Chains A and B, each alone.
Chain A
Amino acid sequence: MKRSIALALGMFVAALTATPVDASLPTPASGGTWAPNQRVEYRWRDGSEPPAWAKPVMNAAAADSNATRKAKAAIFSYDADGPARLAYTDDMPTNYAIGYAVRNIPDSFLIRIRPHGAQLDWGTLRWCQFYNDPPNGCYDLEMVTLHEFGHIQTLGHVDEAAIDIYTDSIMHGSGVHSKAKLGWNQHEFGRCDVARLQIRYEPLTTSTPISTCLDLPTELSLTPGTSSIAYGTSVTLTAKLKIDADASYPNLAGDLLSGRDVSLQRRATGSTAWTTIGDMSAVAGDPGRYVKTMTLTSTYDWRAVFSAPNDEGLRNATSAVSRLSVTYGCTPTAVRRNVSLYETC
């Protein structure tokens, strides 16, 4: 027991030390995960079918989860024969929950939503979608149902002290906001929810933006293919961009990164100043690979550079330097001082 607490404490400290102090932390999660992109169909629970106004709202929450997971997390959809169930019911396991989620991975789940009009200690539960003109203090059923779908995706409640702004997560343990507080009708996972989904399930594709709630080192390699080349010959330089293999999260470490901006730089031999030659092109069907073809007439040092965009939780990376020496078919007859070699024969 003490060992598990010590382990948890150690992981917490490690998370703190591995992350800038002013950054939000990924939403906590636990338990086994769904298979990558597993489809899980749900139906309305017999005897607890939501009213007509609530059904499309709850379906919209499932669609919100699908559209904003940005990871290979589970995909939810309605099917009259689905194994999972959504219930609109006063029969809740606790007297305080307005939504309650039970996941039975890998087979099914059950989400219960407390009905409109139920009395809680603080007052009457009101769902905003019940009204044509929702009053302040009502709860957005789509947001709360999405919160429950977050639990089904294995997300837990966020530590309020560990996030910068409220909308970084919809998994608030101290209470989702009612109308019209910040985030009361947020219909997408917050960036720190997405971060945890990406940690647990991997990003949806290699070009899916990495959540800014993460701060992952990247690794960039440059492969000239040869170290020397004949004057005037065309050569293709190839870069490979991926999340650093030593990144903290095993599911993300070494993941290839496509669709990013990778540029090619060179410097003359003996110089320290780098010049950007241009962007390298992403290669379709070859994730993480970027190329640029050049015709070389002189020897240069080359490197690839990845400048991480502000809307991703990635760090910059620069490849190792590769020198491509240009060789000549004959010995130049004249070499002018301060001018690169050129072929004159």
Chain B
Amino acid sequence: MEPAWRRDRVGLPALLLTALMSTAITPAALSAGLKPGVPAAPDCRTVTPAIAARAALGGPGRHSGSARVQPQIARRGELTGRVLSVQLANGAAVNVNLPVESHVGEATGDLILYTRHTAAAGSEVRALNLANGCDVSLATPTEIVRSSVLDQTANFLYVHSVSRGPRADAGVVRFELATGRQTQVVAPLRPADDFGPIFGTGLHWSVDGAALAAQSCGFGSCLTRVLDVATGKVKRLDAAGQGAFIGLTAGHLVTFAACAGLPCDVLSTDLATGAVTVLAVDAFAAELTPVGAGRALVSIQTSAGSMEVLQ
């Protein structure tokens, strides 16, 4: 609680000025339709996609600002969109309004990738720099964009989309940021009838960044296609009972079983043979810690305690 003397001396004008300075003065704010203010922002118009993407090179968890996504749910209970709220390195706050058809990735280095699609404006992948607030368009996919990730070099953008109209899986397209060249690297998925409609698809890098997993899930179970970035070969892992993605190593895909909840068994699928092994029964959490050479230590929490498995 602010002392009364200070409230009296500072007064309403100062409070308004403080509020103005703390919000919406960046190029991100401009792109989000917010009014400009002070202080001066960098000239983001000169930032190319390739340059913008380099802000991700700091790696996961090493970013200057902070960000969170707030779903917008109307009084009637309908999801109407999301707000990406960012605290920049200089303390300024930025809010980016996103449509319902949007996806916000986790911050990598100083970069947050987000996608958005509306029938009127089409699809777009954008990169928001947490350090300087530059919000740059990286790609404008022709289909309905669902999510995207950058590779470890920040030279390539991988985008997952669904087709307009039937919203069938449109596979994964790689955008070369320097040239804008597009290459379909994972073909559209045509799951078996008994798999049912695809509810969600996620793009996840292997621990060494050499392979990209595109995991598509139906109501309760999933299948994963693993792209070897160097060779361009795609391996499909669709043994029954596969659930949510946990991690990918050079040799194994680690997932939950098809539980749609917790606790849940943790499975390991051998990339070479497709053989599935149960790593743990009734786990509540699992995560991978890279240990080099494409391998990782899988730490699993169960009600009985914790365990670690090298994969």
Report the minimum CB–CB distance from B126 to chain A (whole Å): 17
Report the minimum CB–CB distance from B71 to chain A (whole Å): 4
> Could you say which residues of chain B place their CB within 8 Å of the CB of A5?
277-278
**Are B278 and A95 in contact, CB atoms less than 8 angstroms apart?**
no
**A101 CA to B261 CA, complexed, in Å:** 5
* Residue in contact with A98 in the complex, picked from B78, B198, B199, B221, CB distance below 8 Å: B199
**Are B261 and A151 in contact, CB atoms less than 8 angstroms apart?**
yes
**A262 CA to B279 CA, complexed, in Å:** 50
> Could you say which residues of chain A place their CB within 8 Å of the CB of B260?
94, 97, 99-101, 151, 157, 173
Q: Mark A258-292, 1 if CB is under 8 A from B, else 0.
A: 00000000000000000000000000000000000
8 contacts between A and B (CB under 8 A): A1-B279, A90-B79, A94-B244, A95-B147, A95-B199, A116-B77, A116-B79, A117-B80
The reply on B273 being an interface residue by CB < 8 A is: no
Number of interface residues of B (CB under 8 A): 48
**A53 CA to B216 CA, complexed, in Å:** 32
B interface with A by C-beta (< 8 Å): 71, 73, 75-80, 82, 100-101, 103, 146-147, 162, 167, 169, 194-202, 216-222, 244, 258-263, 265, 277-279, 281-282, 284, 303
The reply on A175 being an interface residue by CB < 8 A is: yes
**A331 CA to B101 CA, complexed, in Å:** 99
**Are B162 and A103 in contact, CB atoms less than 8 angstroms apart?**
no
**Are A122 and B167 in contact, CB atoms less than 8 angstroms apart?**
yes
**Are A90 and B265 in contact, CB atoms less than 8 angstroms apart?**
no
The reply on A67 being an interface residue by CB < 8 A is: no
User: In the complex, what residue of chain B is closest to A101 when comparing beta carbons?
Assistant: B261
**A119 CA to B123 CA, complexed, in Å:** 14
The reply on A81 being an interface residue by CB < 8 A is: no
The reply on A50 being an interface residue by CB < 8 A is: yes
| Known pairs A151-B261, A157-B259; A117 contacts B200 (CB<8 A) | no
> Could you say which residues of chain B place their CB within 8 Å of the CB of A100?
260-261
| Known pairs A31-B263, A103-B263; A175 contacts B219 (CB<8 A) | yes
The reply on A120 being an interface residue by CB < 8 A is: yes
**Are A174 and B244 in contact, CB atoms less than 8 angstroms apart?**
no
* Residue in contact with A31 in the complex, picked from B219, B220, B282, CB distance below 8 Å: B282
Report the minimum CB–CB distance from A103 to chain B (whole Å): 7
**Are B77 and A175 in contact, CB atoms less than 8 angstroms apart?**
no
Report the minimum CB–CB distance from B119 to chain A (whole Å): 12
Q: Which positions 52-104 of chain A face chain B at CB distance < 8 Å? A: 53-54, 88-91, 93-103
**A116 CA to B79 CA, complexed, in Å:** 6
**Are B196 and A118 in contact, CB atoms less than 8 angstroms apart?**
no
> Could you say which residues of chain B place their CB within 8 Å of the CB of A123?
167
Report the minimum CB–CB distance from B167 to chain A (whole Å): 5
The reply on A143 being an interface residue by CB < 8 A is: no
> Could you say which residues of chain B place their CB within 8 Å of the CB of A124?
100
The reply on A183 being an interface residue by CB < 8 A is: no
The interface size bin for chain A is: 35 or more
**A30 CA to B219 CA, complexed, in Å:** 20
* Residue in contact with A119 in the complex, picked from B100, B258, B278, B279, CB distance below 8 Å: B100
Main secondary structure of the interface of A (DSSP, over half): loop
**A123 CA to B77 CA, complexed, in Å:** 18
Report the minimum CB–CB distance from A146 to chain B (whole Å): 14
User: In the complex, what residue of chain A is closest to B77 when comparing beta carbons?
Assistant: A51
**Are B199 and A97 in contact, CB atoms less than 8 angstroms apart?**
yes
> Could you say which residues of chain B place their CB within 8 Å of the CB of A151?
259-261
**A102 CA to B277 CA, complexed, in Å:** 23
User: In the complex, what residue of chain B is closest to A89 when comparing beta carbons?
Assistant: B71
> Could you say which residues of chain B place their CB within 8 Å of the CB of A127?
77
| Known pairs A103-B262, A121-B169, A121-B198; A175 contacts B78 (CB<8 A) | no
**Are A96 and B218 in contact, CB atoms less than 8 angstroms apart?**
yes
**Are B78 and A117 in contact, CB atoms less than 8 angstroms apart?**
yes
Q: Mark A4-29, 1 if CB is under 8 A from B, else 0.
A: 11001000000000000000000000
> Could you say which residues of chain B place their CB within 8 Å of the CB of A4?
278, 281
User: In the complex, what residue of chain B is closest to A48 when comparing beta carbons?
Assistant: B73
Report the minimum CB–CB distance from B1 to chain A (whole Å): 24
User: In the complex, what residue of chain B is closest to A173 when comparing beta carbons?
Assistant: B220
User: In the complex, what residue of chain A is closest to B76 when comparing beta carbons?
Assistant: A51
**Are B79 and A174 in contact, CB atoms less than 8 angstroms apart?**
no
**A99 CA to B263 CA, complexed, in Å:** 15
User: In the complex, what residue of chain B is closest to A51 when comparing beta carbons?
Assistant: B77
Q: Mark A161-183, 1 if CB is under 8 A from B, else 0.
A: 00000000000111110000000
| Known pairs A115-B78, A116-B78, A173-B258; A121 contacts B278 (CB<8 A) | no
User: In the complex, what residue of chain B is closest to A157 when comparing beta carbons?
Assistant: B220
* Residue in contact with B220 in the complex, picked from A8, A53, A115, A175, CB distance below 8 Å: A175
The reply on A342 being an interface residue by CB < 8 A is: no
User: In the complex, what residue of chain A is closest to B244 when comparing beta carbons?
Assistant: A94
> Could you say which residues of chain B place their CB within 8 Å of the CB of A174?
194-196, 218-221
> Could you say which residues of chain B place their CB within 8 Å of the CB of A116?
76-79
For B217, B220, B258, which residue has the most chain A Cβ atoms within 10 angstroms? B220
Interchain residue pairs A-B with the least CB separation, the first 4: A96-B200, A51-B77, A173-B220, A175-B219
Report the minimum CB–CB distance from B242 to chain A (whole Å): 11
User: In the complex, what residue of chain B is closest to A93 when comparing beta carbons?
Assistant: B244
**A96 CA to B103 CA, complexed, in Å:** 13
**A157 CA to B177 CA, complexed, in Å:** 43
The reply on A32 being an interface residue by CB < 8 A is: yes
**Are B197 and A175 in contact, CB atoms less than 8 angstroms apart?**
yes
**Are B194 and A160 in contact, CB atoms less than 8 angstroms apart?**
yes
**Are A119 and B101 in contact, CB atoms less than 8 angstroms apart?**
yes
The reply on A328 being an interface residue by CB < 8 A is: no
**Are B265 and A120 in contact, CB atoms less than 8 angstroms apart?**
no
The reply on A231 being an interface residue by CB < 8 A is: no
